[in-house]
Amino acid sequence: MGIVNNLHQHRHAHTAAGARLTLGIILSSVIFVAEVAGGLISNSLALLSDAGHVFADIVALSLSAYALRQAQKPPSHSMTFGYHRVGVVVAIINSVLIFGIAGFIFFEAARRFQAPPEVDSPVMLGVAALGLAANLIVAFWLREAQKESLNIRSAFWHVLGDALASVGVIIGAIAIMLTGYSIIDAAISAIIGLIIAASAWGILAEGVKVILESAPAHVKLDDLAGDLRRIGGVQDVHDLHVWSLTPQLHALSCHIVIDDRLTSETAHVRAEVETMLAEKYEITHTTLQLECQSCAPGGLLCTLEPGACPLTPHAHPGGESSPDAGQNS
């Protein structure tokens, strides 16, 4: 199945996710204002830290909504794969932003450990409880959409991390009320920073793998090549490339050596290959070059260096080029 067909399949889901993101932006904006005001009134770093995370939520949700709209654009002559990777780039930006916020929280928490200020714990408790309720609502809205998109997942973890942070603020406020030790506020802030940083790492790592065009984690090339060779009519496979346009949309290109036969007789081989790739490896966009004589005997991979792979059509018996070069699913 091609990129355009996948885009049509996911359009309805993207529309629903976009509406949820918009509601999340509105609700998070209200909570941001409340937590900034509450943090200043109560002198709570934990509450202001949570407000900073909520601000990151707003940015993340806004960027995610933008990326979602971009992903619905069809391919063009200049962007032949469409704009699917906009969401991956946004996810990486979000994760870097989260690390920045975590760093600021660590810095300010260290400063307050040295000279703990007085904290108005009742105000801190009330505003944190309001923030927790709002973040749980937004996280509930995004719980299904985040399973299908790294971009939305990054926003989801922004919100979920903030919900956990709000729990920490609530616990800290209660502890300060019971003990009178305002240093607890700084300790809770440091824990929030760790939660924020941890939520960013997985998103950043997955996004970088997609940008670097790494093979999807569930695909083992040797196993995949073996499955290809077991298909009737396939003699060998080489110049194999597997990568992801997004964490959910995988692509493959390769050369497949088959018996010398008429072009019309190769259709069933290609169909079997595409069916196996889709059902077993979730690879739905393929570019297959069928040839009856290997252009790279003995090698599964191709070294992509200038002049390493010939740019002219590969010769075949009878002086003809590959009959099915560049067949797309």
With beta carbons less than 8 A apart as the criterion, state whether 261 and 269 touch. no
Q: Mean pLDDT of all residues in the chain?
A: 77
pLDDT tens across 133-191, in order? 888 888 887 777 777 666 677 678 777 877 877 888 888 889 888 888 888 888 888 88
**And the tokens for 96?**
């870097």
Region 252-276: what's the mean pLDDT? 86
Contacts of 138 (CB under 8 A, 6+ apart): 23, 24, 27, 28, 57, 61, 159
| Cα gap 165→161, rounded to integer Å | 6
Tell me, what's the pLDDT at 166?
82
Half-sphere exposure of 85 (CA within 13 A, CB side): 17
* pLDDT level of residue 8 (50, 70, 90 thresholds): very low
* pLDDT level of residue 314 (50, 70, 90 thresholds): very low
Is pLDDT larger for residue 54 or for residue 324? Answer: 54
pTM of the model: 0.64
Tell me, what's the pLDDT at 316?
41
DSSP state of 217: T
pLDDT tens across 48-78, in order? 877 877 777 777 777 777 767 776 778 778 8
Region 86-93: what's the mean pLDDT? 81
pLDDT tens across 182-221, in order? 888 888 888 878 877 877 787 788 888 888 888 888 889 8
pLDDT of 9 higher than 90: no
| Cα gap 205→227, rounded to integer Å | 29
| Cα gap 111→114, rounded to integer Å | 6
- Name the burial class of residue 193, with classes exposed (0-12), middle (13-18) and buried (19+) by CB atoms within 10 angstroms of its CB: buried
pLDDT of 24 higher than 90: no
In the chain, what are the domains? Answer: 3-211 (1.20.1510.10), 221-328 (3.30.70.1350)
pLDDT tens across 294-304, in order? 665 556 766 65
Tell me, what's the pLDDT at 274?
92
Region 98-123: what's the mean pLDDT? 83
What residues pair up with 237 in beta bridges, in sequence order? 256
